[in-house]
Amino acid sequence: MDRAELVKEAWKAREFAYAPYSHYKVGAALLTKDGKVYRGCNIENSSYTPTNCAERTAIFKAVSEGEREFAAIAIVGCMDNQKPDPNVYASPCGVCRQVMREFVDPGTFEITVASDENHFKTYTLEQMLPESFGPEDLLG
């Protein structure tokens, strides 16, 4: 699946975003190395802290179904009452970057931030989370 297709999947994921407090809706599409896509949306909570980001929803869905090998994630986000600005991309928060770090190779895993299938930018996790702490620091 190419990056433009993965961005479209992220937009589909965003349709189910539950964001009554921030009104900022996010969708993520996580691609496994064998080509499966897991979608995730942000899920807010009236107590705020339990809110889950779209990226983590997608990652936890996949891991909870036995997936451990990931190639890429695409992320889209914007206010629910606005048209997305083609030049503004939703970037993953620090917590989500660290959750990705647990399961992927930072040097090769690709994070695509996008506004639509024609406007996106791709980084490795290493670029977005340099000098990171990860499983090998504890497990050797």
Tell me which of 9, 44, 55, 110 is the catalytic residue. Answer: 55
If you ran DSSP here, which 8-state letter would residue 38 be given? E
Choose one: 53-61, 66-74, 118-126, 128-136; the region binding ligand THU (CB under 6 A): 53-61
Q: Long-range contacts made by residues 83-86, C-beta under 8 angstroms, separation at least 24?
A: 84/115, 84/116, 85/115, 86/115, 86/116, 86/118, 86/119
**Residue number with CB closer to ligand THU (25 or 37):** 25
Nearest approach, Cβ of residue 12 and ligand THU (Å): 15
Nearest approach, Cβ of residue 6 and ligand THU (Å): 16
CA distances from 134 to 9, 74, 105, 121, 130 (A): 28, 22, 10, 25, 11
Nearest approach, Cβ of residue 23 and ligand THU (Å): 9
| 55 given a catalytic annotation | yes
Instruction: Answer for the pair 75, 97: CB distance below 8 angstroms, yes or no.
Output: no
54 part of the interface to ligand THU, by CB under 6 A:
yes
- CA 15 to CA 6: how far, in whole Å? 15
Give the total of residues touching ligand THU (CB under 6 A): 13
Instruction: Answer for the pair 55, 70: CB distance below 8 angstroms, yes or no.
Output: no
Give residues 13-52 in contact with ligand THU (rule: CB under 6 A). 19, 22, 24, 26, 42, 44, 51
Classify 10 as helix, strand or coil. helix
Residues with a catalytic annotation lie at 55
- Chain contacts with ligand THU (rule: CB under 6 A): 19, 22, 24, 26, 42, 44, 51, 53-55, 92-93, 96
